[in-house]
């Protein structure tokens, strides 16, 4: 009480002394304040100078980007160097500038829908199975390469990039292809020509190496419908049928096709004998093969360097047919022109870069090599023997469906495999796949 009263007293003379402005709230001394008042003109000029300089820089960079023909390309880190080099080869002869922006591969698709028009790319690196989603969102432009260019690509690679419910259009130029194959450790097993042989060899090795599975194919608790597709297609399953116009039909779901259900007893048999086991995830499958325990590994060209370095003697083949050919999913990566290119005034330049230059054999060789995949252009030769074996394993393969409804399939189809091949207590395959088919149909609605 006393201290408070005293402090109040001590303040009062000050407050009276300085007139209207109470002294006690003052943060600067009167001398400094005077100085500041004198400086206020100087500071206004300093501020104005700083604003002018910075605004000039910002506005000039923004407008400079508008004036010259600058093509913005979004690509992933693996390909960034190759894309920069190839695109600049084209740009220097054509008086354009290239700006390459590196993104996570999946972010290219996701960010394209939300990016501000000013920052948007004119050209993107894309996977073919994004085509439906990007085209349905109106984000990419149809392309019309000449007959000469089209004839250099296998027709499935162009189909993979084509989409349209009414009129089917090509939205991307393929650059590289990928698919999984069956890698055989030729020291541990003979290269099988029939599925029966594969089964016998795998089970013999399983027993010898005390493994819990015969074929190293990755699933894990989340499932992996992509790596299981050779088994799925070999048993007569399919994802979407095609309608009369030749388009994928999301209402025709073949996850529980009659052929698959008829042959689903085989899955139960494989589960019982331990040919495949859903406990095996990516790391486990890779380890088992590289350590020389598993004789068979299902993987793709992204592991070709790992395989070469492993020192194992191996061969890559397509998995032998089960009741139908055990074909893999085909993936195609390539380049698309976005709807922003026209707005940026570089539509024709971007179209030219993609349809003519990126499609050329020499560009394709460089672009595909940067990512360790075989090039899509048949005239562009990859002389990598392992990649050639993976290419050969693609025979008859099915491009991953590129319609957006595919989003509803991955999880459920993967889970059907997880449930039916988890060893003891597994769900009968017929039930698991029928459940998955119903859930997918529900989600697509």
Partner 1 sequence: MSTATAPAPVEEQPPFRPGLIARSIAAFSGTPGFVIKIVLLGLTNALAVWAAVVLVDTSRWIALGILVAATALIDFVYLVPRQWAIPLKFLIPGTVFLIAFEIVPILYTIEVAFSNYSTGHIASKADAIKQIKINSLEAPANGKQYEIAPARDANGKLVLILHVDGASAVYVGTKKGLSPLSKSDVKLDENGIPAAAKGYTLIKGAELFTLDRQLQGFDIPTTGDAAIEPQGVHQAVELQPTLRYDPAHDRFVRIRDGLVYANNGRGSFAAVNHPRDELEPGWKAYIGAANFKKLATSPLYRNPFLRVFIWTLAYATLTVLLSFALGLFIAIALDKKGLRGQRLYRSALVIPYAMPGFLSLLVWGGLLNDQFGVVNRTLLAPFGLHVPWLFDANWARVSVIMVSVWLTTPYFFLVSMGALQSIPAELTEAARVDGGAGWAVFRRVTLPLLLVAVAPLMIASFAFNFNNFNNIFLLTGGGPCSGTSSVACSTDILISYSYKLAIASGKGNDYGLASTVGIVIFFIVASISAFGFWRSKSLENLR
- Binders of partner 1 among residues 264 to 293 (CB under 8 A) are 279-281, 283-284, 287
Distances (CA, A) of 344 to 83, 109, 330: 20, 19, 34
Min. distance of Cβ 55 from partner 1 in angstroms?
Answer: 4
The 10 Å CB-count burial string (b at 16+, else e) for 169-185 is bbbbbbbbbbbbbbbbb
Min. distance of Cβ 386 from partner 1 in angstroms?
Answer: 27
Q: Coil, strand, or helix at residue 295? A: coil
Min. distance of Cβ 40 from partner 1 in angstroms?
Answer: 7
Spatial distance between the Cα atoms of 161 and 144, rounded to a whole number of angstroms: 12
Which C-beta is closer to partner 1: that of 159 or that of 318?
Answer: 159
Distances (CA, A) of 341 to 107, 121, 354: 19, 7, 12
What are the backbone dihedrals phi and psi of residue 236, each rounded to the nearest 5 degrees, phi first? 95, 15
Q: Interface with partner 1 includes 342 (CB under 8 A)?
A: yes
Residue of 23, 78, 142, 324 that binds partner 1 (CB under 8 A): 142
Min. distance of Cβ 205 from partner 1 in angstroms?
Answer: 17
Min. distance of Cβ 400 from partner 1 in angstroms?
Answer: 14
Which C-beta is closer to partner 1: that of 333 or that of 408?
Answer: 408
* Pair 176, 373: CB distance under 8 Å: yes
Q: Interface with partner 1 includes 54 (CB under 8 A)?
A: yes
* Helices vs strands, H then E, count in the chain: 19, 14
Subset of residues 383 to 402 that bind partner 1, contact rule: CB under 8 A = none
Q: Interface with partner 1 includes 18 (CB under 8 A)?
A: no
Residue of 57, 64, 245, 378 that binds partner 1 (CB under 8 A): 57
Q: Interface with partner 1 includes 146 (CB under 8 A)?
A: yes
Name the residue among 124, 133, 104 with its Cα closest to residue 406: 133
Spatial distance between the Cα atoms of 420 and 88, rounded to a whole number of angstroms: 51
Q: State the number of binding residues for partner 1 (CB under 8 A).
A: 90
Q: Interface with partner 1 includes 21 (CB under 8 A)?
A: yes
Which C-beta is closer to partner 1: that of 10 or that of 287?
Answer: 287
Strand 169-170 with 162-163, pairing: antiparallel
Q: Which residues contact 378 (CB under 8 A, 6 or more apart)?
A: 152, 153, 154
Q: Interface with partner 1 includes 95 (CB under 8 A)?
A: yes
Which C-beta is closer to partner 1: that of 295 or that of 403?
Answer: 403
Count CB-CB contacts under 10 A for residue 37: 9
Task: Specify the length of the chain in residues.
Answer: 445
Which C-beta is closer to partner 1: that of 197 or that of 360?
Answer: 360
Subset of residues 234 to 263 that bind partner 1, contact rule: CB under 8 A = none
DSSP 8-state assignment for residue 248: E
Q: Interface with partner 1 includes 36 (CB under 8 A)?
A: yes
Q: Interface with partner 1 includes 366 (CB under 8 A)?
A: no
- The CA radius of gyration of the chain, in Å to the nearest whole number, is 31
Name the residue among 220, 177, 215 with its Cα closest to residue 329: 177
Q: Interface with partner 1 includes 222 (CB under 8 A)?
A: yes
Q: Interface with partner 1 includes 324 (CB under 8 A)?
A: no
Q: Interface with partner 1 includes 418 (CB under 8 A)?
A: yes
Q: Interface with partner 1 includes 407 (CB under 8 A)?
A: yes
Residue of 62, 64, 245, 378 that binds partner 1 (CB under 8 A): 62
Spatial distance between the Cα atoms of 234 and 229, rounded to a whole number of angstroms: 8
End-to-end CA distance of the chain: 75
Subset of residues 96 to 135 that bind partner 1, contact rule: CB under 8 A = 96, 113-114, 118, 133, 135
DSSP 8-state assignment for residue 246: S
Q: Interface with partner 1 includes 69 (CB under 8 A)?
A: yes
* Pair 364, 173: CB distance under 8 Å: no
Q: Interface with partner 1 includes 64 (CB under 8 A)?
A: no
Q: Interface with partner 1 includes 41 (CB under 8 A)?
A: no
Residue of 29, 148, 210, 258 that binds partner 1 (CB under 8 A): 148
């Amino acid at each position: 009480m006393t201290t408070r009263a005293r402090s109040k007293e001590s303040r009062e003379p000050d407050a009276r002394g300085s007139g209207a402005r109470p002294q006690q709230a003052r943060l600067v001394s009167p001398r400094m304040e005077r100085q500041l008042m004198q400086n206020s003109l100087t500071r206004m000029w300093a501020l104005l100078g700083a604003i002018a300089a910075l605004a000039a820089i910002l506005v000039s960079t923004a407008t400079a980007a508008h004036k010259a023909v600058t093509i913005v390309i979004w690509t992933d880190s693996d390909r960034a160097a190759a894309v920069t080099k190839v695109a600049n080869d084209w740009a220097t002869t054509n008086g354009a500038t290239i700006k390459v922006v590196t993104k996570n591969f999946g972010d290219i698709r996701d960010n394209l829908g939300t990016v501000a028009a000013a920052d948007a790319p004119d050209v993107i690196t894309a996977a073919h199975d994004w085509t439906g989603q990007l085209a349905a969102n109106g984000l990419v432009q149809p392309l019309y390469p000449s007959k000469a260019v089209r004839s250099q690509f296998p027709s499935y690679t162009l189909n993979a990039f084509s989409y349209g419910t009414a009129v089917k259009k090509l939205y991307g130029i393929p650059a590289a292809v990928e698919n999984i194959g069956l890698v055989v450790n030729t020291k541990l097993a003979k290269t099988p020509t029939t599925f029966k042989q594969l089964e016998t060899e795998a089970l013999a090795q399983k027993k010898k190496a005390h493994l819990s599975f015969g074929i190293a194919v990755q699933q894990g608790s989340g499932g992996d419908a992509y790596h299981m597709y050779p088994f799925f297609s070999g048993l007569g399953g399919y994802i979407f049928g095609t309608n009369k116009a030749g388009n994928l039909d999301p209402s025709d779901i073949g996850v529980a096709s009659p052929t698959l259900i008829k042959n689903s007893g085989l899955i139960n048999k494989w589960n019982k004998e331990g040919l495949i086991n859903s406990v095996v995830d990516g790391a486990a499958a890779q380890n088992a093969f590289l350590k020389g325990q598993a004789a068979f590994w299902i993987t793709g060209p992204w592991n070709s360097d790992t395989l070469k370095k492993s020192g194992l003697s191996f061969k890559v083949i397509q998995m032998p047919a089960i009741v139908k050919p055990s074909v893999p999913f085909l993936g195609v990566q390539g380049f698309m022109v976005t709807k922003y290119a026209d707005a940026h005034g570089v539509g024709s330049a971007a179209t030219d870069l993609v349809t003519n230059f990126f499609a050329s054999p020499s560009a394709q060789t460089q672009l595909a090599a940067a990512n360790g995949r075989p090039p899509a252009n048949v005239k562009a030769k990859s002389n990598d023997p392992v990649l050639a074996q993976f290419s050969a394993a693609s025979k008859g393969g099915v491009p991953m469906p590129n319609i957006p409804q595919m989003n509803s399939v991955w999880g459920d189809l993967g889970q059907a495999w997880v449930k039916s091949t988890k060893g003891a207590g597994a769900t009968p395959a017929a039930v698991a796949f029928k459940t998955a088919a119903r859930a997918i149909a529900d989600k697509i609605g």
